[in-house]
Chain A
């Protein structure tokens, strides 16, 4: 494998990786330094929590990937009115505040959900709700992460070049053969990165685990860290737990990076002329129908509930419009910053031939996801104070940076596989043309990546739009985002207001997911002067 020689790309990515690692280290150090007196040792059963959390995260990852592949496969083959909207809705789940998704889920699957209400009306019986305990956590996580996986994998399937499909069709491949020969090679490059992200998300999941977990038996390490910081004020214990969590997560990331295979498919998807057998089509229809029931209904309920609820009262509040403007501004700034960071890292990774170098360039981007939100915001808070900056003035900057870093793994999972595929499939051509690095990006990578960049921008914009972790410590009365406003409304009995804000957030998210990829693709393929 001979890659184009790009030392500058590798160097820039290495510097950025080091900077991120240094930031994480200084956040932890700031907390460690602030811990003045030793308090009573934490009363936390770490091995038990680790076991529980790993089991839950492992199950979530496996299930989500299976669901994601099945769903992406169905969506790639089927064409129907409203398909874009469904795809947008699936992508929306992951970036919607976890609480909103959890309540949407309960409205369908809960003790008093639609399913039980229907059963009660028709048969006069109700069933035990599956929405609580480990089953409930897995259900909620698979809805979030499975739908997200489907969205990312669909982008890979849609990028299979039309000529490859033509050849496959002329060979009369069955649905199973096509999946093995054409789809799987296109998907497999994304699976390790996706799997790592889903594992990290599930491992550090907090609101959902607490809402649906049923109690302390199903808790994560993140809960213990929160309690060490808030209840015991045991900062040293919190750092120790955070390091434990990061070590486990880092092991998973390194493992995932080691297994990363390079996808082979790349191109622009034409309308598929592929026709599967009747049985395969029926199966695809069934998968889609079940997914819409499982994934889309909870979110649709959020929309309906919000519009029926306190919509009028919310839009009459000046603070709502202020929060909307703040959210959009922070989301846009985070999205651009994430794009820059992800491009630098992903281009550097793609240019590196050595697998150790590739891992080192990838790990810091993911590692950030493993830092507990409470530790993160506390560390940032202390850093800002230690430097002596006024908290009010730098809050927006801290929130933008933190949100960008949180969205970075998602951005990497979106951009790294196609960039890898470009240099590996077109590396010879690039070398023979003796192209400069800039020309390679402007003429080859950017045009081919238009849709992926759009998806990534949408992801990080919405990620920031729905973030509740960092803003919670840096928000004030004058600086609040929509999720924070929603949370504050919930804390003051104003559930209708909160429902309306949740619906508005969701609408914004779907619009971003449907619109941005198309927009950027159009820009990327605009005729050049």
Chain B
């Protein structure tokens, strides 16, 4: 009687403790933004590829945005289930670093092919692109060649941009103008104001406005045309190259200090930045890989015009001033 009772109890306890303990495979939990984990995103491909080699289970947990993943681990603190965070970018990497939640990855990354040298001990890059304004060659055959030319266009030429407080490209444009013009940034913003049709919360809303023909240009990425070439065989959407140079977005991944699987997490980041893992990125996330894939890079990316000059700002500068720069920009376009 006692025996059967304790057996029943054991079964119950086993049932409650979840299936996680029943497996001998370790589990790696990665927080990311939802586009990355979506069915058509890189998430499923990376999961299949990594699980084939690691004898583990990789779980994607999707938040609504990359900043959302960071806020979530900040709220969860040391109790977070996340082992790695995938999808922060260099504009918020400084803030992420300052939380003290991230551990050194300890990897020696070789063969990186990025617009700038990479020497970050905590974050591993996994894709990049430059911010740029898109135009449709049917309606705007000759795009402006820099910000000042854009400003001097007739007022009925409209652009859509994103709010720097809620969208990474919005913040990217802000940093781009700052890196290119420094103290003259407010002047540039004031000049752009009549051309701004609206400032949206997310990138997707602004891009839809552009595709609907509501605006002549939209702030997006130099790699955006690849999607239209690859998926729709549409060659009319192009990125306008500006001669001031362009500001890059480099997306990164990091390991959390609280992870109980630090080796596995490092192994995953190494896979993510390896040619094998990188193959999954371009035609799912529509960004450039961080290694030279040679013939494995889809031809839709091959002929995309690339900026010759990459602008940068130091992480310290961004952390110290981004709030003031946002206020400056909002005041100028108010």
Contact = CB atoms under 8 A, between A and B. Distances in A.
Contact of A493 (B43, B286, B326, B330): B286
B323 A490 contact: no
A106 B209 contact: yes
B198 A211 contact: yes
Interface string A187-227: 00000000000000000001100111111110000010011
B158 interface: yes
Contacts of A272: none
Interface stretch (A73-81, A471-479, A518-526): A471-479
A245 interface: no
A207 B37 CA distance: 24
Interface stretch (A144-152, A230-238, A361-369): A230-238
Contacts of A233: 71, 74
Interface of B: 34-35, 37-41, 43, 60-65, 67-68, 71-72, 74-76, 79, 158, 163, 165-166, 196-205, 207-209, 211-215, 224, 227-228, 231, 286, 323, 326-327, 330, 333-334
B67 A106 contact: no
A210 B163 contact: yes
B323 A213 contact: no
A111 B166 contact: no
A112 B204 contact: no
Contacts of B205: 99, 207, 210-211, 490
Contact of A488 (B38, B76, B196): B38
B198 A319 contact: no
A111 B201 CA distance: 20
B208 A230 contact: no
Which 4 A-B pairs have CB atoms at the shortest separation, nearest pair first? Answer: A112-B213, A490-B204, A227-B165, A493-B227
A176 B47 CA distance: 69
Nearest to A377: B64
Given A492-B38, A493-B231, A214 B197 contact: yes
Contacts of A490: 204-205, 207-208
B144 to A, nearest CB: 19
Contact of A106 (B214, B224, B323): B214
A487 B207 CA distance: 13
8 contacts: A43-B323, A43-B327, A210-B199, A211-B198, A214-B197, A230-B68, A385-B75, A494-B40
B303 to A, nearest CB: 18
Given A211-B198, A490-B204, A227 B166 contact: yes
A103 B200 CA distance: 13
Given A110-B212, A488-B38, A494-B40, A216 B199 contact: yes
B212 A491 contact: no
B201 A210 contact: yes
A476 B43 CA distance: 13
A111 B214 contact: yes
A216 to B, nearest CB: 5
Contacts of A43: 323, 327
Q: For the side of the interface on A, what is the size category? A: 35 or more
A491 B67 contact: no
A513 interface: no
B198 A216 contact: no
Given A132-B197, A207-B201, A472 B64 contact: yes
Contacts of A106: 209, 212, 214
Interface in A97-121: 99, 103, 106-107, 110-112
Contacts of B75: 34, 378, 381-382, 385
Contacts of A212: 198
Contact of B39 (A230, A232, A317, A378): A317
A229 B323 contact: no
B137 to A, nearest CB: 16
A362 to B, nearest CB: 32
Contacts of B35: 488, 491-492
Contact of B60 (A216, A477, A484): A477
Contact of B198 (A215, A488, A492): A215
A108 B168 CA distance: 30
B214 A473 contact: no
B163 A493 contact: no
Given A230-B67, A230-B166, A492-B41, 6 more contacts: A216-B163, A473-B63, A475-B64, A488-B38, A493-B207, A493-B231
Nearest to A34: B75
Contacts of B41: 492
Given A216-B333, A227-B165, A230-B67, A495 B199 contact: no
Given A227-B165, A231-B166, A317-B39, A491 B71 contact: no
A211 B231 CA distance: 26
A212 B39 CA distance: 30
A348 B37 CA distance: 47
A475 to B, nearest CB: 7
B280 to A, nearest CB: 14
B319 to A, nearest CB: 12
A495 B201 contact: no
Nearest to B161: A215
Contacts of A231: 67, 165-166, 326
A207 B199 CA distance: 11
B323 A493 contact: no
Contacts of B76: 385
B287 to A, nearest CB: 12
Contact of A492 (B40, B63, B209, B213): B40
A132 B227 CA distance: 29
A396 to B, nearest CB: 16
A223 B200 CA distance: 11
Nearest to B92: A231
B34 A475 contact: yes
Contact of A112 (B37, B38, B214, B334): B214
A210 B204 CA distance: 13
Contacts of A207: 201, 205
Given A227-B166, A231-B166, A487 B204 contact: yes
A110 B210 CA distance: 12
A231 B327 CA distance: 13
Contact of A232 (B202, B228, B323): B323
Contacts of B165: 226-227, 230-231
A312 B20 CA distance: 38
Nearest to A117: B213
A213 B206 CA distance: 13
A226 B224 contact: no
A40 interface: yes
Contacts of A230: 65, 67-68, 71, 165-166
A307 B60 CA distance: 32
B334 A217 contact: yes
Nearest to B67: A230
Contacts of B62: 475-477
B204 A491 contact: yes
A262 to B, nearest CB: 42
Nearest to A385: B76
Contacts of B209: 106, 211
Contacts of B231: 493
Given A492-B40, A493-B224, A476 B214 contact: no
A214 B39 contact: no
Q: Which among A216, A232, A477 has the greatest number of chain B C-beta atoms within 10 A?
A: A477
